[in-house]
Chain A
Amino acid sequence: MRILVVEDDSKIASFVVRGLKQSGYAADHAPDGETGLALADSTDYDAMIVDVMLPRLDGISLVKRLRAARRVTPVLFLSAKSSVDDRIRGLQAGGDDYLTKPFAFSELLARVHALIRRASQSPEATRLACGDVTLDLVTREVTRAGQAVDLQPREFTLLAFLLRHAGRPVSKTMILEHVWDYSFDPQTNVVDVVISRLRAKVDPDHTRLETVRGVGYVLRPHV
């Protein structure tokens, strides 16, 4: 898995590249848009992380050119602007996801991972599992340690999302996006509330659904 990071801020770029390498990805770095485009043209990347504001060729134009050349490499935009307009602009230009600076690296990693999985189009199993927790997307049956668990619709969606990202922390923003379909953070504690309800049902002994302080939540197999 090879990922291209197009980012002009060397500090951010180095911590992203280092983090990606630690997570088992190969990562290349381009400090400006033109270098990024040249690299993307010559190498087949599995995903690209592109800053919107770049010297010489901005991120939006870079991705537009890439898409014009019929390259479908999934792209995650990084931007310091959080307004909905900028987000929409990035997605319309051909980006697949959008992350606002400052961001948690774990969130970046989870999003990149989701992009690569979506792009590789591996058919999703109808049964998700992590340790002793299983979830069937078709029959909507959930079990913990072989016992059936009765979940509310939102708890079910949240558990499915956590199972898909099992082992990797997901942020509240990602949960709001995928479970509540909110593209911005409404700044409420609703996620905490549903997490704690879910925890009471599938993780009464607090060994599976862990809170990662400052980042979000991670679902781990029960040991």
Chain B
Amino acid sequence: MSELHSSAAHPKSDPDRLAALRGPLSTLTPPRTALSPQRSALNFLPRLRQSLALRLAAQYALVFALSSGVLFGVLYWTLAESLDARELAGLERQVRSLADAFTRGAPVDVIARVKNNPSPEMSASFVRLITPDSSTFFQKLPDDWIETQIKSIPFGPFTVNQEVRTERIPQSALRDYSIATYQWPTGWQLQVGRILDSRAVLLAPLKRAFALVGAGALVLSFATGIVLAWRATRPLRAVAATARRILETGDLAARVPSSGSRGELATLVTQLNTLLEKNAAHVRVLRETLDNLAHDLRTPLTRLRGTAELALQDAGDPAEARAALADCVNESDRVLHLLEVLLDISAAEAGVLKLNRDHLDIRTLVERAADLYREVAEEKDITVIVDQPTPAECQADAIRLGQAINNLLDNALKYTPAGGTVTLTTMIERGPGVALVSPCDHLVITVADTGPGVPVAERAAIWRRLYRGDSSRSQRGLGLGLSLVKAIVEAHGGTVAITDAPRAGARFTLRLPVERDLAPR
């Protein structure tokens, strides 16, 4: 016995082993490393350039600038064209009226008309009468025209026979000469020119105004864009910050603060938080499972070690050594089985137990269980009654649910005294409502025995893993059967309950939800 005690004293070192077991988890959570100010400053510029908000705003501003530029260009061109057309038409009218005078009279009349016309239109005009031999017969310059500029105005003939030809002669960006030329068949030419100043007077200020207002609007829109995009992407930054926090500190409880708004990003935040919640739950279950496993395996392993140690010390009898070895093998099988069931329960509780759901009639599972235990029941002289009058179909994992039903039957047979009865029933329980099949329908499997029953005080505890009631200490088993039943049924979305059976004893009830379209018709 002293060996057993000495090995039982080992658990002192267990926290270390547990820590070692948790190792892979701990390595996920390196100690927090604070970012130095220099590093964050260095990171700031590239990060700013990559900022989604800034890029969105810049792209938005670019599109704004391009589209308003195009809009203004079209406006400007249309306006300039129509202004030019008006001025040229005026010029043409003027040259025709002068030409009429020349046709009726002599060049002198034209000169007189030009000179005696005090209208501002005439005084701003350039008039030139050209002889057939291409020399200037008469020329009038407005006050603000420069002589040299006139030299560049070409003589005709541009057209033949009383045609009026208007010509733009570009001078500078804003001031163009516009020359209308009238030519007679005799070779004489009359030219009237004017400075087209509509651009200078109207279009240039327009352009300036546009440039100013446009630039202002651009800057404003860029700034507003940044602010709006910055605000809109706030949830994204919150997500990134939370992720960084979890990575840097390993704080699994960190959640993205909810902005209270609606929309895609708010959905993203909610879903991410749900994801984090689930992950944290999984990690928690994993840790708890490891803790429980370490705890649950300690007892059988201590026993195993004790047996082996004892056998090693009594080296004498080979038969005893063989018996000890066989005990070790049995004990290791037990440990292995314990491990598998515990893993199944943990997986089911954590919601990660893989269920291969099929559409099946639960009656076959119940019949199979009754068949499996037929001999056991016969040995104990227990009558097993299977009562399942109607089809009971639902979506379930045949193996897992079969395991649950087997365990319940096994449990019932264990506690029912000789001559007793175990009753298995299956039925569909109609939910409230007039519909033939309602979503509240449940498939109900009950296992009732005529054993001593379960005291009310113990009823909640029997589902706990490794719980063994006072009356069960004498029975074989691990204390995992009912926990596995509960875990499997709950993984199927169902519930388990224990009540008093009609004729003393205990009644276990499994209720599984039945999908609407799969219920029997």
Contacts and interface: CB of A to CB of B under 8 A. Distances in A.
A188 B476 CA distance: 10
Interface stretch (A37-45, A53-61, A178-186): A178-186
Given A84-B399, A102-B336, A213-B323, A188 B330 contact: no
A214 B373 contact: no
Contacts of A104: 329
A197 B354 contact: no
Contacts of A214: 325-330, 333
Contacts of A187: 337, 341
A171 B96 CA distance: 124
B329 A197 contact: no
Contacts of B336: 102
B399 A184 contact: yes
Interface in A160-206: 180, 182, 184-190, 193-194, 197
Contacts of A124: none
A18 interface: no
B354 A154 contact: no
B347 to A, nearest CB: 10
Nearest to A197: B375
Nearest to A191: B375
Interface in A84-113: 84-85, 102, 104
A102 B373 CA distance: 27
A26 interface: no
A215 interface: yes
A35 interface: no
Contact of A182 (B327, B356, B372, B374): B372
Interface in B378-414: 379, 399, 402-403, 406, 410
B329 A189 contact: no
Interface residues of A, number: 23
B122 to A, nearest CB: 103
A82 interface: yes
Contacts of A180: 372
A188 B372 CA distance: 9
A68 to B, nearest CB: 27
Q: Determine the main DSSP class of B at the interface with A.
A: helix
A155 to B, nearest CB: 8
B283 interface: no
B376 interface: yes
B356 to A, nearest CB: 8
A152 B377 CA distance: 14
A186 B326 contact: no
B458 interface: no
Contact of B376 (A83, A84, A185, A190): A190
Nearest to B409: A188
A190 B409 CA distance: 12
B38 to A, nearest CB: 48
A102 to B, nearest CB: 7
A100 to B, nearest CB: 9
Interface string A115-159: 000000000000000000000000000000000000010100000
Contacts of A186: 372, 402-403, 406
Which of A82, A102, A197, A213 is the most central at the interface, judged by chain B CB atoms within 10 Å of its CB? A213
Contacts of A215: 329
Interface in B307-325: 323, 325
Contacts of A188: 372-373, 376, 406, 410
Contact of A193 (B340, B375, B402): B375
Contact of B330 (A84, A85, A213): A213
Nearest to A186: B406
Nearest to A158: B375
Contacts of B333: 214
B7 interface: no
Which of A102, A184, A214 is the most central at the interface, judged by chain B CB atoms within 10 Å of its CB? A214
Contacts of B406: 186, 188
Contacts of B376: 188-190, 193
B332 interface: yes
A213 B326 contact: yes
Given A102-B332, A214-B329, A85 B354 contact: yes
Contacts of A194: 375
Contact of B372 (A82, A84, A184, A190): A190
A193 B332 contact: no
6 contacts: A84-B356, A102-B336, A187-B337, A188-B406, A193-B379, A214-B330
Minimum-distance CB pairs A-B, first 3? A214-B329, A213-B326, A214-B326
Given A154-B374, A186-B372, 9 more contacts: A84-B356, A184-B399, A185-B337, A186-B403, A190-B375, A190-B376, A197-B375, A214-B325, A214-B327
